[in-house]
Structure 1
Amino acid sequence: MTVVWSDAAVQGLLFLLAAGLLLALQSIPSRLRRRRSRASATSAQAHRHFITGAQLLSRARSTSPPSISLAKSALSHADLAISLSPRDAAPLILKALTLDLLGRRLPAIKSLDAALSPPLVNSLSDRERGDALFKRAELQLELNQRKTRRRIDGAVADLIEAVKLSPDNAKALAKLGECYEERGEVEEAQKSFEMAMEVDPANKVAKDGLKRVTRIREVE
């Protein structure tokens, strides 16, 4: 009798385990749906903070002088978007642009460094990546008045990549021309200024730069 009871107990236990496993398997899709729903809600919340921050930054820029209080509010929303969506590079770029408006160029560069590093950079389109590279190059050159060769070389590398990603970015082409001019590469500078003028004939930086390098080449 004892043996029969043990067999029955084992069979009952196996039945309970099988039933529990079946219920667990059946609940997996609903758990995944709930998890996906939470992720979607978090993503939507991050997007709202990003949009609000972008609007605040735009308003801050539109005032003369730029509104510091609006820029600080934009920065807060950018930080919230980053915390909610750490794999998205866009809020980091928004943060960099806001920090630049606040005159904090070094932290702005670091924010762009993070946005342009893998895997976050993969969340950007070619145009967005090109614009971010251009902005980083611009900040590197503006970080202080003394433009060292190392700083210029770093800016040139970013600008070359930016132009590859966005061939119609006249500002990046003109800035690249200025960097080549600074390095004494007059022919390359002229080519960059000319390409910028083809994209945007009204680009003053390219127009003035082309006049300078043309005079230099005439003297040579």
Structure 2
Amino acid sequence: MATTMMTDLIFQAIIILVMLFMFLWTLNIPQKYYDKFQFRDRSSYAAKRHFVRGADFLSKSRTYKNREFAKSAVDEAEKSIAINPKDAAAHILKALALDAQGFTTSALEAMDIALSPLTKNSLCDEERSDGLVKRAEIKVKAKGVDSAVVDLVEAVRLNEENVTALRLLGECYEKKGMREEAVKAYMDVVKVEPQNAVAQTALKRLGSI
């Protein structure tokens, strides 16, 4: 008897769910959610399209040394950001394009947003490490090596095999007169890339090989 009652309850629950779905369907609620999903998908596609176009403009600006291409890259990056402000890649693109035009302060502001909590979910550790390296490169020009070292240390913590971070860290330590720290950073580069000419030359210059 208990089994029969359970079966009846399940059957009634199914009927109620079907009736509820039919009621919601008459209100067009499922279609509204579907449309919302479709809109979000189209928006994501549009954001990526602007990002790709911006990246192409940035590449051309570097190839042809043309600031107009860099300006176009900023425009495309801003369009992508307007659609999806939580995507760090678009902010990084904007920063690099601004830096290419010599707008160091604005470039740093864009990089700060790219590495802020707003976009943290859009970057894995390796990507965040690369982003910190890019910010450090800009900081060296704008604020000096002290500020850059902080980013580079964090970049290495996130990705111990980030050769660019290790090399720049070695260069910054060397500029600060911190020989032992510089040697260690260059040695770490060689561990990852034994044939790295920059690190080998630096180690010879520092009398470590």
Q: Same fold (TM over 0.5)?
A: yes
Whole-Å separation in 2 of the counterparts to 1:69 and 1:204 = 35
SS in 1 for 2:206: helix
Indicate the residue corresponding to 2:87 in structure 1.
Answer: 88
Relative to the length of structure 1, the TM-score reads: 0.77
- Superposed, 1:9-158 pairs within 5 Å as 22-23=23-24, 26-63=27-64, 66-143=65-142, 147=144, 152-158=145-151
Whole-Å separation in 2 of the counterparts to 1:182 and 1:126 = 28
Instruction: Identify if the C-alpha distance between structure 1 residues 202 and 109 changes in structure 2 by more than 3 Å, giving closer, same or farther.
Output: farther
Question: Is the Cα–Cα contact under 8 Å of residues 170 and 203 in structure 1 kept in the other structure?
Answer: no
Indicate the RMSD between aligned Cα atoms, in angstroms.
Answer: 2.4
Amino acid at match of 1:155: A
Question: Is the Cα–Cα contact under 8 Å of residues 43 and 83 in structure 2 kept in the other structure?
Answer: yes
1:168 aligned onto 2:169: no
Aligned length: 189
Displacement after TM superposition at 1:138 (Å): 1.1
* Per-residue CA distance 1:99-154 (angstroms, 9 max, x = gap): 1111111111111100100030220122221111001111111126xx3xxxx332
Question: Is the Cα–Cα contact under 8 Å of residues 140 and 147 in structure 2 kept in the other structure?
Answer: no
**Rg: which structure is higher?**
1
Instruction: Identify if the C-alpha distance between structure 1 residues 39 and 211 changes in structure 2 by more than 3 Å, giving closer, same or farther.
Output: same
Whole-Å separation in 1 of the counterparts to 2:176 and 2:62 = 33
Q: Which runs of 5+ in 1 are unaligned?
A: 1-18
Question: Is the Cα–Cα contact under 8 Å of residues 50 and 79 in structure 2 kept in the other structure?
Answer: yes
* Per-residue CA distance 1:165-205 (angstroms, 9 max, x = gap): 23222221111112222333211110101111233345444
Runs of 4+ off more than 4 Å: 23-26
Question: Is the Cα–Cα contact under 8 Å of residues 71 and 98 in structure 1 kept in the other structure?
Answer: yes
Identity %: 43
Displacement after TM superposition at 1:92 (Å): 0.2
Q: Which runs of 5+ in 2 are unaligned?
A: 1-19
Displacement after TM superposition at 1:34 (Å): 1.0
